[in-house]
Amino acid sequence: MSALDTFAASVTADQPPAGSSPALQALWWVRRGDWARAHECVQAHEGEADCDSVHAHLHREEGDLSNAGYWYRRAGRPVSQQSLEAEWTALATELLDRRER
């Protein structure tokens, strides 16, 4: 099982996997259906590029595209044209790959 598969499957647990960064925790919470808790994770770490990237994704998921655009700019990323699922997967993969190095 890949790191991404393991991470995605872990949402049946009570808490994100130990050692998860705030950005990964936010992705975990939103996958679990708790957008507010995910938002709290990234809000507490504004200015960190990974959290700003996930923050953009969260506002895009919420449907607040203007706010999402602000966070994409803060993260130094173009506004995603991917589906929300594909963007979640890309972000999680990027963060997990970096963690494993």
Burial 24-42 (b: 16+ CB within 10 A, else e): bbbbbbbbbeeeeebbebb
* φ and ψ of 68, to 5 deg: -60, -45
**31 Cβ neighbours under 8 A, 6+ residues apart:** 8, 11, 88
The predicted pLDDT at position 11 comes to 94
pLDDT digits (tens, 9 = 90+) for 33-86: 999 999 999 999 999 999 999 999 999 999 999 999 999 999 999 999 999 999
The predicted pLDDT at position 101 comes to 62
Q: Which CATH number fits domain 20-100: 1.25.40, 1.10.10, 3.30.450, 1.10.1740?
A: 1.25.40
Where does the pLDDT of residue 100 fall: very low under 50, low under 70, confident under 90, or very high at 90 and above?
Answer: low
